[in-house]
Amino acid sequence: MIDPVTLAVLKGRLEQIADEMDATLFRSAFNPIIAEAHDACHGLYDAATGATLIQGKSGLPIFVGVMAFAVRAVMDKFGDTVVDGDVFIFNDPYLGGTHLSDFRLVRPYFRDGTLFCWLGSVGHWHDVGGNVPGNYNPAATECFQEGMLIPPVRLSAGGQTRQDVIDIILANTRLPTSAWGDLNGQINALDLGAKRLDALLAEYGAGTVADALGELRRRAATMMRSLIAELPDGTWSMEDFLDNDGRTDVPLKVALDLTVRGDRMTLDFSRSSPACAGPVNIALSTTVASCYVALKHLFRDVPANAGVMDPIEVVVAEGSFLNVKAPKPVGGYTETILRIIDVLFSIFEHVKPAITNGQAYGTINALSIAGHRPNGARWVMFSFYGGGHGGNPEGDGLNHGNAPISTATIPPVEILEAAYPVRFTQWALRPDSGGAGTHRGGLGAVYEIEVMNPEAEGFVFGERARFRPKGVLGGGEAAPTRFSYEGADGWAEPPLGAKMVGIPLSRGRRVRLETPGGGGWGDPLVRDPAAVARDVTLGYVTADAARDLYRVAVDAHGALDTVATARLRGTGA
């Protein structure tokens, strides 16, 4: 068995390799979704099973779980024909999760003629064809409307790059230069990973490194089992909803029954809605990966290693919208996995209240505005927008944070205005958007954008317009998403809440996106009145909300009336 000290040292060395692969792609990528928003990920995967062994720290959290399925898909298809120098590419979302925008590159790593492990790279490309620039098509009923679908194929065969494959892919995107730049970045990252592994194996020997990888997985499982064992035995249930599937305005249910027995946990989603016509379905691999992300937020010290899921069984019924097969559309997968994470945060108020928090804003609010420049060139401004995090045992939630599934940063207004014919007229926090609580939810935001091009089109794919982010332990709900746009007859809102394609825009017309805050934590009626007064002074909470939700009397400037507050709260003067 490997000695414990070498194990600790090798863990750091291996993580550094994955981190360095992340950093290389972030720096050299062409599209801001990778370069700025870090919607990408790299790792090392088991030679025999494809299971995640090591994952970079800065990559997109949701990919931690799904890349294992991607590697598995390559193994299943190519089996013994895999040779040194092969690189596989695909974006098939049913084989390895997520959506068509995420292009995966998988490369076998050989040592002395034997497959030692797999290296993987995944990145969200700017455009992969389909009906909607940027690929968030809330009206899709088949994946074919969402973009090109490339099954696992050889990008490189025995070290020879296949230009014909690259040509096919680049012919199917609106932004071929961007795609080519990102592809190059991903290839570079895999090359770098192989080079670093060469050095590490030369230093420690392949046997020792292989032992370390196996041992790290066993220890991740041990750690998770000991955390589960500390939870009370029992079964709890929780439900939450998606607004609709982008086609018909019918809510979709995410229902979870969580059972703890000793050191094992079952996450049963059987009571969830069946597959839907629109693009908020997800593949089974994606469901499993979202459970992992939620658990790692709750138990943040467990490693990014497949062993964490060994003591956990995830049950999803065939035919559920959380377990679909081709060609069901999956483009809006982010919304569904955020709801799974929300449900897990909420259910832990029963399982282990000390570690949970109010739900975060629960939607990535993908908004794109596209048009043609005077010279005919197409432009696509596509971004995800932020919202509040939930109140938590330590304090109020963070204002304007990123989604739990990512560590993405938002592009600056000035970069967007320099690149696209738009002008932001507001970029602000949204008062009263955080759920009330002993610890208030963080605030969402208001973004307002004016088009400066003669003609443009808008596309929005958001959620939480109908069902608000929930609080925990008595904390209140956050404000819902509100999207509106200036049409010919003044301001209007999409019939489906926060989903719409082909919004006609023209010079001087605006769109306005108001995002949810986070849910509250604990009873708002015991929040310190001074903290409520300060929230009013700072404009986080209005005086009306202070009175109605917190029963604290404050004037519009935030001056606290202690006598009136005592009367409101019934605590005597």
Partner 1 sequence: MTVIGVDVGGTFTDLFLYDEATGKVTVGKVPSTRGNQSVGFVEGIRERIPLAEVASVVHGTTVGTNALLERKGARAGLITTRGFRDVLEMRRRDRRQTWGLWGQFVPVIQRDLRLEVGERTLADGTVLEAIDPAEIRAAARALLDKGCEAVCVVFINAYANPANERAALDALRDVWPNEHANCSSAILPEIREFERTSTTAINAYLQPVVGSYLGALETRLKEGGFAGDVLIVQSNGGVMTVDTARALPVRTALSGPAAGVIAAAAIARGAGFPNVITGDVGGTSFDVSLIVDGTPQLAAQTTLDFGLVVRTPMVEISTIGAGGGSIAGIDRGGLLQVGPESAGSDPGPVCYGLGNDRPTVTDANVVMGRINAERPIGGKLARLDVDAARRAIEETVAKPLGLDVMAAAEAIVRVANARMAGAIRLVSIERGHDPKRFALMPFGGGGALHACALIREVGLASALVPRFPGVTSAMGCIIADMRHDRVQTINATLDGLDVARLTADVRATAAALTLQLDRSGMRFEGVETLVELDMSYVGQTHTVAVPLALPDGRDLTAADVRTAFEAAYRGAYGRLLDGLPMRLLNLRTAVVGRRPAFALSTLAPRGGSVEGARRGVRRIWAEGAWHEAAVLDRLALPAGAVIPGPAVLEQPDSTIVVEPDMAARVDPLGNLVIERKP
Residues 387-446 that bind partner 1 (CB under 8 A): 389-390, 392-402, 404, 407-415, 417-418, 423-429, 442, 445
Q: Can you say whether the dihedral through the CA atoms of 90, 94, 96, 99 is positive or negative?
A: positive
> Taking CB under 8 A as the rule, does residue 530 contact partner 1?
no
Structure tokens at 484: 């509106």
Shortest distance, position 340 Cβ to partner 1, whole Å: 15
Shortest distance, position 465 Cβ to partner 1, whole Å: 20
The residues near 99 (Cβ < 8 Å, ≥ 6 apart) are 93, 135, 146, 330, 331, 332, 333, 334
Please tell me the distance from the alpha carbon of residue 243 to that of residue 264, in angstroms, as a whole number.
33
Pairing assessment for the beta strands 312-315 and 264-268 based on DSSP bridges:
parallel
Shortest distance, position 194 Cβ to partner 1, whole Å: 14
Q: Which is nearer to partner 1, 360 or 369 (CB)?
A: 360
Shortest distance, position 189 Cβ to partner 1, whole Å: 11
Are the beta carbons of 440 and 391 closer than 8 angstroms?
yes
| Region 27-56 residues binding partner 1, contact defined as CB under 8 A | 27-32, 35-36
Please tell me the distance from the alpha carbon of residue 424 to that of residue 1, in angstroms, as a whole number.
60
Q: Report which secondary-structure segment, H or E, holds 241.
A: strand 234-242
What is the Cα gyration radius of the chain? Answer: 24
The DSSP output letter for 33 is H
The DSSP output letter for 222 is H
Q: Which is nearer to partner 1, 57 or 378 (CB)?
A: 57
Which residues partner with 103 through β-bridges?
123
| Region 480-509 residues binding partner 1, contact defined as CB under 8 A | none
Q: Please, how many CA atoms are within 13 Å of residue 493, restricted to the half-sphere of its CB?
A: 12
From 112, 164, 233, 301, residue interacting with partner 1 (rule: CB under 8 A): 301
- Which span sits near partner 1 by CB under 8 A: 255-263, 274-282, 386-394, 544-552? 386-394
Q: Which is nearer to partner 1, 214 or 539 (CB)?
A: 539
- Which span sits near partner 1 by CB under 8 A: 105-113, 152-160, 173-181, 315-323? 173-181
Please tell me the distance from the alpha carbon of residue 223 to that of residue 126, in angstroms, as a whole number.
38
Q: Please, how many CA atoms are within 13 Å of residue 126, restricted to the half-sphere of its CB?
A: 24
- Which span sits near partner 1 by CB under 8 A: 19-27, 73-81, 314-322, 484-492? 19-27
- x/- site string to partner 1, residues 331 to 360, per CB under 8 A? --------------------------x--x
Please tell me the distance from the alpha carbon of residue 73 to that of residue 152, in angstroms, as a whole number.
8
Q: Report which secondary-structure segment, H or E, holds 543.
A: helix 543-550
> Taking CB under 8 A as the rule, does residue 276 contact partner 1?
no
Q: Which is nearer to partner 1, 31 or 320 (CB)?
A: 31
> Taking CB under 8 A as the rule, does residue 63 contact partner 1?
no
Q: Which is nearer to partner 1, 109 or 345 (CB)?
A: 345
In the numeric block, the tokens 């009336």 are attached to 561
- x/- site string to partner 1, residues 532 to 561, per CB under 8 A? -----xxxx-----------------x---
Q: Which is nearer to partner 1, 434 or 494 (CB)?
A: 434
Shortest distance, position 143 Cβ to partner 1, whole Å: 27
Q: Can you count the helices (H) and strands (E) in the chain?
A: 12, 20
| Region 211-250 residues binding partner 1, contact defined as CB under 8 A | 219-220, 222-223, 226-227
> Taking CB under 8 A as the rule, does residue 20 contact partner 1?
yes
Shortest distance, position 152 Cβ to partner 1, whole Å: 26
* Total residues at interface with partner 1 (CB under 8 A): 84
What DSSP letter does each residue of 280-336 carry, written as one string? T---HHHHHHHHHHHHHHHSTTS-SSGGGGTTEEEE--TTBTTS--TTS--TTHHHH
First-to-last C-alpha distance (Å) of the chain: 69
- Which span sits near partner 1 by CB under 8 A: 101-109, 134-142, 294-302, 490-498? 294-302
> Taking CB under 8 A as the rule, does residue 58 contact partner 1?
yes
What DSSP letter does each residue of 449-485 carry, written as one string? EEE-SSEEEEEEE---SSSPPP-BTTPPPPPPPEEEE
Q: Which is nearer to partner 1, 286 or 383 (CB)?
A: 383
Are the beta carbons of 500 and 459 closer than 8 angstroms?
yes
Shortest distance, position 80 Cβ to partner 1, whole Å: 33
Q: Which is nearer to partner 1, 237 or 426 (CB)?
A: 426
Report the Cα 553 to chain-centroid distance in Å.
39
Dihedrals φ, ψ of 349, to 5°?
-65, -20
- Which span sits near partner 1 by CB under 8 A: 134-142, 264-272, 466-474, 531-539? 531-539
Shortest distance, position 404 Cβ to partner 1, whole Å: 6
> Taking CB under 8 A as the rule, does residue 177 contact partner 1?
yes
Structure tokens at 371: 């048009």
Please tell me the distance from the alpha carbon of residue 427 to that of residue 398, in angstroms, as a whole number.
17
Please tell me the distance from the alpha carbon of residue 198 to that of residue 17, in angstroms, as a whole number.
11
| Region 185-204 residues binding partner 1, contact defined as CB under 8 A | 188
From 16, 131, 161, 266, residue interacting with partner 1 (rule: CB under 8 A): 16
Shortest distance, position 248 Cβ to partner 1, whole Å: 32
Q: Which is nearer to partner 1, 340 or 410 (CB)?
A: 410
Q: Which is nearer to partner 1, 422 or 496 (CB)?
A: 422
Which residues partner with 369 through β-bridges?
381, 458
Q: Which is nearer to partner 1, 151 or 393 (CB)?
A: 393
Reading across the β-sheet that carries 499-506, which strands appear in turn?
378-383, 366-372, 455-461, 499-506
Q: Which is nearer to partner 1, 401 or 494 (CB)?
A: 401
> Taking CB under 8 A as the rule, does residue 377 contact partner 1?
no
Shortest distance, position 6 Cβ to partner 1, whole Å: 9
Q: Which is nearer to partner 1, 51 or 330 (CB)?
A: 51
Q: Which is nearer to partner 1, 118 or 385 (CB)?
A: 385
Pairing assessment for the beta strands 378-383 and 490-492 based on DSSP bridges:
unpaired
Q: Which is nearer to partner 1, 332 or 401 (CB)?
A: 401
Shortest distance, position 257 Cβ to partner 1, whole Å: 24
